[in-house]
Amino acid sequence: MNRERILGPLDSADDDDRSLRPKKMDEMVGQREVYERLMIAVDAARKREEPLGHILFDGPPGLGKTTFATCIPRELQVPIEMATGASLRAPKDLLPYLTNLQENSVLFIDEIHRIPTAVEEYLYTAMEDFRIDLILGEGVNARTMNMTLKPFTLIGATTRAGMLTGPLRDRFQFREHLNFYTEQELTEIVKRNAVKLEMNIDDESALEIARRSRSTPRIANNRLRCVRDYSTAKEDGRLTPEITRSALDMWEVDTLGLDRLDRKYLETIARVFMGGPAGIEAIGHTMNVALDTLTDEVEPFLLRSELVIRSPRGRMVTQKGLDHLGIKDISASEPDDDGGSVNHPEPDSDNQ
């Protein structure tokens, strides 16, 4: 079972994120309104010595959901249990987490939309009454086990708020949507993290990395590491704006921050589907990429940047998207190498 118990330093299982993840809420950059609301709630819970209300974070990957979830218990000075929705396949999988909870501690469930309904139903009484009634065994051997739990806070994170059922969503007292970051906020994150990585970075280089990071802190961290590798390997650790640009160009990160996969997605709609509309499944099959990757990681930034739009009939590339790809005339554009042409794109079956 993928389970982590963390009492000391709180970090995700992801080593790469670990060293750069802020440890306290006031080290976090941006998301000020969310920060203010949560700090008030944390302060009140601390003063009343009560558990904090359940919190749901939603938003695209890499925007700080796990960071908030791991900073909050530190502010409250309580332990955290961490689980992922996909690992909670049966009600009994919840048990170790729930029995380990301490008074007012936090249970964090990442990707909470992946929890099956059978497990979700057990969470309702756990969240509402701090109680769980489990049926163990089957048939004549079945018996019910009633357990009283310590009061706790559930923090859920999801990239797909729309996939959560109403009853589960309604049981969260706080629902916070995390937004993309401004260039200024990302520049600040890059500079702070450069210090943690013992890099000597100038303002222009930090801004260049921020500009090419799709408004997402996790991507900014990755780009920063790529630039550091490049500077170490090719420039003896020297870093200038020119070196930063060369590094990012070499990693095929373009001026808008799109990488190979983002461009391939745009090109597939533009060239294979003649600009769209194209159904997400057809796009995924053509690119040979999982739909989740496209909807969770690729599309949010492209939609927000108006490079692509979602209509009821499917995805369409915009004029801005075509300009970015340097395509002047769709009808004259060549099909993608591994694409092939499709004459009748299916209607969009993805309703998120």
Q: Which residues bind ligand ADP (CB under 6 A)?
A: 12, 17, 20-22, 28-31, 61-67, 157, 189, 217-218, 221
Query: Strand ranges (DSSP E) for 116-221?
Result: 131-136, 143-148, 153-158, 174-177
Active site residue 110: yes
Closer CB to ligand ADP, residue 53 or residue 61? 61
218 is catalytic: yes
Helix (H, G, I), strand (E, B) or coil at 278: strand
Amino acid at site 229: D
**Cβ pair 193, 20 in contact under 8 A:** yes
CB of 197 to ligand ADP, least distance (A): 11
Q: Is 329 a catalytic residue?
A: no
Among residues 11, 58, 110, 259, the one annotated as catalytic is: 110
| Annotated active-site residue in 159, 216, 268, 286 | 159
Residue of 21, 218, 228, 315 marked catalytic:
218
Q: Shortest distance, CB of residue 287 to ligand ADP, whole angstroms?
A: 23
Least separation in angstroms between CB 164 and ligand ADP: 16
Of 271, 260, 253, 290, nearest in space to 336 by CA? 271
Q: Which is nearer to ligand ADP, 21 or 54 (CB)?
A: 21
Strands (E), the chain: 4-6, 55-58, 80-84, 106-110, 131-136, 143-148, 153-158, 174-177, 308-311, 314-317
CB of 216 vs ligand ADP, minimal distance in Å:
8
Query: Is the Cβ of residue 66 or residue 105 nearer to ligand ADP in the bound state?
Result: 66
Note if the bond before 61 is cis, omega within 30 degrees: no
Is 14 or 129 the residue whose CB approaches ligand ADP more closely? Answer: 14
Longest CA span, the chain: 74
Q: List active site positions.
A: 65-66, 110, 159, 218
